[in-house]
Amino acid sequence: MVNMIANSTTVPAPDKTALRRLFSFPNPVNEVSARLVAAGVVLMGLVSIAFDVKWLTVVLAYGFVARVLTGPSLSPLGQLVTRVVTPRLTVDANYVAGPPKRFAQGVGVLFSVSALILTLTGHWTAARVVLGLLVVAATLESVFAICLGCIAFGLLMKAGVVPAEVCERCNNIWAELPYPDATRNQATVA
């Protein structure tokens, strides 16, 4: 009788594969989409700085945290770019390694959350400086395909801080910078 009660009240375990899928980051990453997301960050950052729109620091911080944890899945900007904007463009996809892009999003978390904390504690001028630095990095990515976080990731790999197994494709990251053409960085999507 006790076993029947225990079995009848058992809650099913959550689907671990669905959670893993949700909390994953794409690899490879379409650089076209990554650059468009960076352009969105530039736009939000500039609006926040120029017009004192402090609440945008919340949106920026959330977006970076969401993208680090789930790629574009829980990021409204990531969803807009990957589902609406990129498919309507007439440019070919340019696939690049995912781990450096995730690391770059992590650096974005550091800057955007710092700006948010500074904003919430009444240090808006300091928050604007941090947002300005974020805008500069995002502009380099969106306009020139220069991903500062990816370069830092490559340096950390070269120094042995990031193990080679984290990103096999990144072992040759130095040969791929600064991404001069779309065909050079093609990766097979398996």
From the first residue on, what is the mean pLDDT of each consecutive set of 10 residues in the chain (190 residues)? 53 70 84 97 98 98 96 95 96 94 97 98 98 98 97 93 84 50 37
Q: Give CA separation, 58 vs 32, 119, 181, 190, in Å.
A: 25, 9, 35, 35
User: Are 91 and 167 a contacting pair, CB within 8 Å?
Assistant: no
The pLDDT of residue 13? 63
Both tokens of 163, joined, read 């193990």
Nearest to 92 by CA among 181, 176, 188: 181
Q: How far apart are CA 31 and CA 28, in angstroms?
A: 9
**Any idea where the domains of the chain sit in the sequence?**
29-176
Could you give the residue ranges of the DSSP H alpha helices within the chain?
2-8, 16-22, 31-51, 56-70, 76-79, 86-88, 98-120, 124-144, 148-158, 173-176
The pLDDT of residue 69? 94
The pLDDT of residue 183? 39
The pLDDT of residue 48? 98
Q: Is 19 helix (H, G, I), strand (E, B) or coil?
A: helix
The pLDDT of residue 11? 64
Beta bridge pairs of residue 96: 29
Nearest to 128 by CA among 63, 56, 48: 48
